[in-house]
Amino acid sequence: MLGIIGAMDVEINSIKERITGRTVTTIAGIEFVCGFIENVTVCAAQCSPGKVNAALCTQAMIDHFDIDAVINVGVGCSLNDNVIIKNVVIATDVCEYDVDITALGEPLGFINGLNTIKIKTDPTLSEKLSRAAINFGERIHRGTIASGDTFIAGTELKHRLASQFDAICGEMEGGAVGHVCAANGVAFAVLRCISDGGDENSQLDYPTFKKIAADISTAIIVEYIKTEQNQYSLF
C-alpha cells in the first residue's frame, strides 16, 4: 500500500477525494483514508504542519497499515534562485536543519540514531515521481529539501540553509517523514511544489500561490499512481 501524507487540507483533500472504496480510521486525532486510486491501494492522511506532527502521522501510518512506501507531498519555499514559484522539487535527500547538538561536538543537523545529516530518499520512487512530473509538463529540480519548525520568510535563514545544507527547498515536514521511514526501513519520497521564495515576500506569495502549487503536486501524484496500477496489494 502507498502512503501519502500532506500537512494541510489544501495539500491532501483533493487526493482523499479521489479515493474509492474508502475506509476511514482515526488514530491520535489523525484521519487515515484508505482505498483505491486507479486500482492502486493507498492510505492518505493530513498530518498538520510541523516535524512532530509529521513524525506522529508517519509512525501511526506505518504501524497500523500495510505500507510499502510513503510519499510526502505539498508545497515548499525556494532556497535557490533557479527554483521559482510553481516549479517542482523532488528530494534526493532530506535534512532537519534545526537539530543542533553542536555544543556536544556534532555538526549542525546531525541526527542521532540514524547518525547522518542527510537522509536519502528512495531513488526508484523518486525517479518515477520525476518522470510523472515531466510527463505532466512541469519543470522539476532534484536536490536537498531542508525541514524545520519555522516558516521560512527571511533572506538570512534562506541563505543559511542554502549554504550550510546545500538545500534548494525548505518546508516543515519532509525531514521528519524521512527520519521515521528510515528508522522503520520504509521507502519514501518527498515532493514539493514551490509556493514562495522563502524571503520577506513569502507572507504575500504563499497565500496567493499555495493552492496552485498544491494542485500541481496532487496532479503529479495521480499521474504517478496511474503508472503504478496493481503494484500495491490491498491491506
Just list the catalytic residues: 11, 196
Cell triple for 84: 521559482
The span from the CA of 156 to the CA of 158, in Å, is 5
Q: Where are the beta strands (DSSP E) in the chain?
A: 2-6, 20-27, 30-37, 40-46, 69-78, 88-96, 118-120, 140-147, 167-171, 187-196
Counting Cα atoms < 13 Å in the Cβ hemisphere of 41 gives 12
Q: Which of 198, 180, 188 is nearest to 81 (CA)?
A: 198
For strands 167-171 and 69-78, give the pairing.
antiparallel
